[in-house]
Structure 1
């Protein structure tokens, strides 16, 4: 019998392209691009300075490649949902048990996110604790995407995405903000910041708003839901060329709609605008398609091992980068090696050494088959 969510499903298989793309993304989330950022304006090479500039967020409106990194991870989290849920169903887990598992995962990620963003945690001064976090957003998006996946077909989920993005668009332009009115998209006068200041407890990252605050969770979750569409498609028994065409077409369509929408609703990561969601989800479809084509269709896989090692322990590398001082260890081990190099390059080489230490730590876990998951 064909399943509701995917009419032509085949037995799930682990795709190396998903692990590699997750590893590529998580490396940048955790700080793997710091080496390039620290080289800015030091080499005299225009392309190095350009890449370094792409690894910084714009002050407000606009877009750089670094803005794509977190949305890509939310999308990949969604891609994994059909695989993990179908595996649970095959084990005999009921829908309620799958809900509980996703809810428990969400709570754990929220707690880990609070610990990560509040070092040390000010237990006796809760007003200084930042509640919003990257991990918390991943947990909430994954939980909501799981609920939608278990109850709606792919067409209905796409309608949910459209409804959320249109509603978000309408809210920001039609609901007046005290002292600023409706449709104000400035840093000080937008609805999102006002809502965070009045309803989000604890410390706000940007003082007057938090980029991972309350209302922005809704457009952000759309990335995970879009990822479930890609995951469903990868599970089908379609020919590989058809799967690739689907990914690329979906990506081009989303980017096109996002760019057109941005004429009136600017691309803005801080506000997670609807145009930003469509642009980044479209890019995610295309990146997944390219990784799938090169790694799983053409079978050029050796180069992907570097990222696979990270992708199979993504939570570990994220927390390791935040709780272990790899820069200090890098300096202690490698400072003598790069001492002859001009001093302005030392911090970049220290970061590169730290990246090497992180990767070998992940490689050790990989060889020992230690994969920390929630």
Structure 2
């Protein structure tokens, strides 16, 4: 048996017998892709598929976050069935988990200090200008709202809730008028900086506390308030998928059905795109349909490879990353911030490494990608160490 086989078998043997390997692999693939696209050597040199779409439309990168939201829903349903506790206990635990996720997101947002600027004022430029929304903040909010619906609604109610949330979102986006500071009225727009969702972020969060602060006429956030509604629908899609997989029936038949449903959802979303654009920052319902369709395709493929064909060893690195997904995301975020803070000559360590090592060796784009892959390799060593010792960070 070779070194890789022993390494992979050692990882898989640590998995509890009741774990759904395909879900762990899907989670690991997703968080790996998230870290890969978040840590290029240079933001000026990124291959198209590793970038977000400029506005309407999508790239593979735009599927990563909704995949994670979908997986949260699948995991929620499996956990609720595994741990039979009262709704009150589940709600209390869920509220605590949500607050932890939001707190970690805010901690990441605050974890930066400009060491190259002697006049940098962390309180004024970071704390008082804190970006309130974020990836972990959205996961926390979506998780708790979805949990509320799941605890008190049967499967038909959950399905209707997912559809109703998308309907309510569209009602706001197309039916509610809003005004800018000059008194100009708008309604039904899906423009960058001009939509009901953007107006709501600008009005309630403030232009100094969102990601797109210079957007006009309204500053807004891609993880903003109104777009959280259809994001909950994405999570409910994961819950309903897990519920369906738990029903009696042959797994092979379910995989085929999931593949067909995924293809149909993707096709319908692409057709719908002509009327309601697929848009990640706005999290439009067509985007919910598209990303859910692709999530079905990926999950079905993982189930077929792992549970039908028995191909398991290739999954080992993704099991390691997926087992500690939140720790991986937070530690990678902190490491990236350190690389962007430490001064080296006239620049920072991250840029220095890219310019002096990766760019000369591999070129602009390949060097940027090589930096991200090296970042992942080092992260794997750290996460594998945690996995071997059984250090799994439960939020």
What TM-score results when the alignment is normalised by the length of structure 1?
0.85
The RMSD of aligned alpha carbons is 2.9
Select the residue among 78, 85, 90 that pairs with 1:83. Answer: 78
In the other structure, the counterpart of 1:186 is 191
SS state at 1:69 partner: helix
Aligned length: 350
Query: What residue in structure 1 maps to residue 200 of structure 2?
Result: 195
Question: What is the CA–CA distance in structure 1 between the aligned matches of 2:356 and 2:350, rounded to whole Å?
Answer: 10
Q: In the alignment, is the contact (CA less than 8 A) between 2:41 and 2:368 conserved in 1?
A: no
- In the aligned structure 2, how far is the partner of 1:340 from the partner of 1:196? 43
Helix, strand or coil at the partner of 2:191: coil
Q: 1:61 aligns with which of 56, 75, 93?
A: 56
Mapping for residues 256-271 of structure 1, pairs under 5 Å: 256-271=267-282
Cα 1:241–1:351 shift into 2, 3 Å: closer
1:285-318 deviation per Cα after TM superposition (whole angstroms, max 9, x unaligned): 1111111111122110111111111000001110
Matched, 1:17 2:38: no
Flag the 1:288–1:112 CA change in 2: closer, same or farther, 3 A: same
1:109/1:174 Cα in 2 relative to 1: closer, same or farther (>3 Å)?
A: same
Residue 28 to residue 272, structure 1, CA distance change in 2 (3 Å): same
CA–CA distance in structure 2, aligned partners of residues 256 and 338 of structure 1: 40
Alpha-carbon shift at residue 39 of structure 1 (Å): 10
Deviation at 1:28, TM superposition (A): 1.6
SS for the counterpart of 2:178 is coil
- Conservation of the 8 A alpha-carbon contact between 2:142 and 2:228: yes
Residue 139 of structure 2 is aligned to residue 138 of structure 1? yes
Matches of residues 136-175 of structure 1 in structure 2 within 5 Å?
136-175=137-176
Q: For structure 2, list consecutive stretches of 5 or more residues without a partner in the other structure.
A: 1-16, 114-121, 214-218, 343-348
Runs of at least 5 residues in structure 1 that lack an aligned partner in the other structure: 1-11, 41-48
Q: Secondary structure at the match of 1:341?
A: helix
Pick closer, same or farther for the CA change 1:250–1:151 going to 2, 3 Å. farther
For residues 61-95 of structure 1, give each alpha carbon's deviation from its aligned partner in whole angstroms, at most 9, with x where no partner exists.
11111110000000011110111111221xxx211
TM-score between both structures, scaled by the size of structure 2:
0.81
What is the distance in 2 between the residues matched to 1:203 and 1:15? 39
Distance 1:130 1:333, change over 3 A: closer
In structure 2, how many angstroms separate the alpha carbons of the residues matched to 1:36 and 1:249?
A: 38
Which stretch shifts more, 166-175 or 31-40? 31-40
Q: Which moved more, 1:245-254 or 1:214-223?
A: 245-254
| Deviation (angstroms), 1:229 | 1.0
Deviation at 1:174, TM superposition (A): 1.4
